[in-house]
Structure 1
Amino acid sequence: MIIGFKTEVKVNKNRCLLLAKHAGTARHAWNQGLALCSELLKHNRANPEDKIKFPTAIDLHKWLVASIKVSCPWYYEVSKCVGQYALRHLSDAFRSFFKKTKGFPNFKKKGRNDSFTLDGSIYIDHRKVKVPIIGWLKTYEQLPQGLKPKSVTISRQADRWFISFKIEIETHSTPKAVDFVGVDLGIVHLATLSTGEVFNGAKSYKKSEFKLARMQWLNRHKQIGSANHRKAKLKIARLHRRIGNIRKDTLHKITTHISKNHAVIGIEDLNVSGMMANHKLAKAIADVGFYEFRRQLEYKRHLYGSKLVIVDRFYPSSKTCSNCGIKKESLSLSERMFKCEHCGMTCDRDLNASLNLEKAARSVVSVCGLGSADASRMKQEEDVSNC
């Protein structure tokens, strides 16, 4: 299985300046290409009879060499791969936009998500990586041996630089303590399992919200571009990085535990983007990380030999009684206990939903006969009947 490997690199002042030059060149190439593509789209809308063919990544790079590099000699101070990959990523972004899977690409700003990609002669030693132009970069941890990645991506978070590349690892099936489990995601408790286990989210943003607001409030009147303004921005970026790291650490621990110890996992296909439209719950939903939870489960099931069943988002897991199967007409978010008027069962709302998700996972496996195959995304009502 091929996964991504990311680690921090040690950089001094000179290396940090060289990495920043590469990131700035990649950002400039992206913005120039995006400006050209935007003008072409405007021209094609205004002149439908005189349409110009939309450029590919190769066309954009030829235009960059002929028009931009002539007036920007600092392009030759960095690797040629920087502009090539930036335009290739821009072409992929427009392809996703035309397929309506993502929005229109945005212009990049200095200091936000700075990154660039390199390929060519890349060598990996025990604790260092050699990349073109830049040379050897030392790391803080031991690197996988026997690898020759085709490309590496170097990115910056606050004042730290990270390098990432793809590695191939062997999957291994771990012994499972539970055959079937349903996982219900929520804000009060991040994950409630049908076995009765409850995992709480880190809620790192909520814990650091006052400190972050204080730092941003103190930075409001500092002159933009001054030394004090840069120092304050760096402190804010470090706090954002800490908030994100705490959230990722908690999600990794929970998803690894679930994938290692449960054979078949049933989880609901939540419409996270639609839920984020609710301004009253958007901050809390983003703080716990619903989408990241599911993304980690989807690739960790291959690592540890478990199966994942994605239940249809319209399946009424919260409104259905897990004991008798009777569906309630309405259930508000303030009702934390589920009370069935038919059989009289009373239990926690999230636990009841997880029990229903476990039943849904069992029905999918039994009807479709998945066996050792992976349970892919399928709808509870339509896909099961078509199997």
Structure 2
Amino acid sequence: MKRYEPPAGWVVQAYKFALDPGDTQTGSLRRNTGAARFAYNHMLRRVGAVQAQRAAEASYGVSEADLTPWQGWSLPDLRRTWNEIKQWVAPWWAACSKEAFNTGLANLSAALGNWHASRTGARKGRRMGWPRPKRKQAQRSARFTTGAIRVDPGYRHVVLPRLGRIRTHESTRKLARRIRAGTAQILSATVSETAGRWFCSFQVAVRRDHNRPAHAPRAGRVVGVDAGVKHLAVLSTGELVPNPKPFNAALKKLGKAQRRAARRIGPYDPATRSKRTASKRWQRAQDAVTRLHATVAAVRADSWHRLTTRLAQQFDTVVVEHLHVAGMIRNRKLARSLADAAPATLRRHLGYKTGWYGSILYVADRWYPSSKTCSACKTAKPKLSLAERTFNCTTCGLSLDRDVNAARNLADLVRHVDLELPGDAKTGRGAYVRSVRPAPAGWAAGDEASRPSGVNAGRQRTAADREFTFTH
């Protein structure tokens, strides 16, 4: 499937609304999301069976021309095969939208493509295994790309194919006004269930003029942001953004809910190591645990959205670190706190919000010692343990909170960089995302006389120069 590329000045973003469906509509939602899961599982078994059959035939010396026909896993191949067999394997297929089955087939095509890319080395990261079947307990979702997809003029309903008008818990005024003004166009809609609640997420192409809201005056040109655990983030201005620690706050309630669920009759009997029918009380206890986890995730997401939106609106340039969170979380003493803070969310959100509001995002090099370097004299310490929460410089005598010191060092990284970038220097998402490395020792912020010589020295930077990492 070809990826949608928005025109110049437009970005793709999501508008998510909580739904309030009736009993009949809830049954239709579950039926369509179940159809997506069924198509995924059935075609996954078919692809695996064809592969196993071909391998068995090849082991007996059968020629390539006489082997069982290959089952391709591209979306057109999967869709073609499904249309040929659906009347036998799913005689109820007419009761669901064709987009529901297409959702499962598209997910399977992507999963198998990622598995093959990982196996051949084309995909970076941890080696991926063969896709697993989706269980009924998995999150239900279905994506609609064609048909009647719109928001109701009354701001209280959404219209989806085969599902009709569904009431929403909140007003859809923001999206409806943009569509009426011609500055937004709905591309697709995805319905999903989280902790017993149904949501509808619209993928929308929106035209943005990169203007800052009137209520968000510029507080400064450059700000360094140091993500942490004790505080959600520390700004170079000295502001300490509190960390709500939602998982730690819900830990006591979560423990009680999980102990209550453990006392119920679940689907697995540990004594006989066999499956059994779970009781309704067990299901209600599991639902309570799920709702607690959903609340924790919602509080965490809200905290990061509030902070990143404020940074993108109020500052011209935001500098963050490129944190290796996957490596940091291996420390078992910090794993829970790091997962609760989710520091990688900072860079992900700013990556697109800075493009929305016309600001610039710089990402410092992963190995830049922002915490070990003095923000006043730029002297770097060889070691600095996590237990030392105050940075004490032995050269100039500076004594400062280590996180504030790190944030100031991040802000100083781009003092020498021209901040007014032309429009053609944007990334594909409209954001100015640059990777910078520290200047040499002794290069004071704004000190043009001490700028080192090199290919970029003594001339005006162009848009092409800014596409590369700043190295000295």
What TM-score, normalized to structure 2?
A: 0.75
Aligned to 1:380: 437
1:40 positional shift? 5.7
**In 1: Cα distance, 2:381 partner to 2:85 partner:** 66
In the alignment, is residue 220 of structure 1 matched against residue 247 of structure 2?
Answer: no
C-alpha distance 317-40 of structure 1, shift in aligned 2 (>3 A): farther
Q: Is the 8 A contact 1:122 1:131 kept in 2?
A: yes
* Counterpart position of 1:130: 159
Residue equivalent to 1:58: 76
Shift of residue 379, structure 1, vs aligned partner: 4.1
Please give the secondary structure, in 1, of the residue aligned with 2:470: helix
Partner residue in 2 for 1:21? 31
What amino acid is the match of 2:81?
W
- Confirm or deny that 1:76 pairs with 2:89: no
What number of residue pairs does the alignment pair up?
384
Partner of 1:152: 189
CA contact (8 A) 1:182 1:361 kept: no
Q: In the TM superposition, what is the alpha-carbon distance from 1:226 to its structure 2 partner?
A: 1.6
Q: Which moved more, 1:159-168 or 1:118-127?
A: 118-127
Kept in 2: contact 1:263–1:306 (CA 8 A): yes
Aligned partner (choices 141, 145, 149) of residue 115 of structure 1: 141
| Distance in 2 (alpha carbons) for counterparts of 1:180 and 1:331 | 26
Larger Rg: 2
Q: CA deviation at 1:43?
A: 7.0
Contact 2:73 2:112 in 1 (8 A): no
Match of 1:95?
113
- Give, in whole Å, the separation in 1 of the partners of 2:414 and 2:286: 47
Question: 3-state DSSP class of the match of 2:469?
Answer: helix
Displacement of 1:380 in angstroms is 1.0
- In 2, Cα distance between the equivalents of 1:100 and 1:135? 40
Instruction: Report the alpha carbon displacement of residue 116 of structure 1 after superposing the two structures with TM.
Output: 0.6
1:283 to 336, 339, 349: 336
Give the secondary-structure state (helix, strand or coil) at the position aligned to 2:386: coil
- Structure 1 residue 58: Cα displacement: 1.2
State how 1:1-387 maps to structure 2 within 5 Å. Answer: 1-39=11-49, 52=70, 54-97=72-115, 98=117, 99-101=122-124, 103-104=128-129, 105-118=131-144, 119-125=146-152, 126-143=155-172, 144-145=175-176, 146=179, 149-167=186-204, 168-174=206-212, 175-224=217-266, 225-363=278-416, 365-366=417-418, 370=421, 373=425, 374-380=431-437, 383-385=469-471
How far apart are the structure 1 equivalents of 2:24 and 2:265?
Answer: 27
8 Å contact kept, 2:264–2:281: yes
Distance change >3 Å, CA 87–CA 101, structure 1 → 2: farther
Secondary structure (helix, strand or coil) at the match of 2:432 reads: coil
Instruction: Judge which range, 162-171 or 180-189, deviates more.
Output: 162-171
The CA distance in 1 between the partners of 2:71 and 2:94, in whole Å, is: 29
1:326 Cα offset (Å): 1.3
- Partner secondary structure for residue 201 of structure 2: strand
Identify the structure with the greater helix proportion.
1
Structure 2 letter corresponding to 1:378: S
Q: In structure 2, what residue type is equivalent to 1:158?
A: A
Checking the alignment, whether the CA contact within 8 Å between 2:227 and 2:234 is kept in structure 1 is yes
3-state SS in 2 of match to 1:266: strand
Q: 1:280 to 1:107 in 2, by over 3 A?
A: farther
State the shift of 1:229 in Å. 1.3
Structure 1 residue runs of 5 or longer lacking an equivalent are none
Q: 2:451 matched to which residue of 1? A: none
Question: Are 1:318 and 1:350, in contact at CA under 8 Å, matched by a contact in 2?
Answer: yes
Identity %: 32
Give how far 1:113 is off.
1.8
Q: Which amino acid aligns with 1:245?
A: A
Go from structure 1 to structure 2 and tell me whether the alpha carbon gap of 1:361 and 1:34 turns closer, same or farther (over 3 Å shift).
farther
Deviation for aligned residue 1:8:
0.8
Question: CA distance change for structure 1 residues 35 and 281 in 2, over 3 Å: closer, same or farther?
Answer: farther
Whole-angstrom CA distance in 1 between matches of 2:340 and 2:51:
37
Paired letter, 2:257: M
Q: TM-score, normalised by structure 1?
A: 0.91
**Gap regions ≥5 residues in structure 2:** 1-10, 267-277, 426-430, 439-467
Aligned partners of 2:378, 2:240: CA distance in 1, in Å?
23
**Superposed displacement of residue 67, structure 1:** 3.4
Displacement of 1:133: 1.2
Using CA pairs below 8 Å that are at least 6 residues apart, which structure has the higher relative contact order? 1
Tell me how far apart the structure 1 counterparts of residues 187 and 310 of structure 2 sit (CA, whole Å): 32
Secondary structure of residue in 2 paired with 1:308:
strand
Q: How far apart, in 2, do the equivalents of 1:53 and 1:73 lie?
A: 22
Distance (whole Å) between structure 2 residues aligned to residue 316 and residue 40 of structure 1: 53
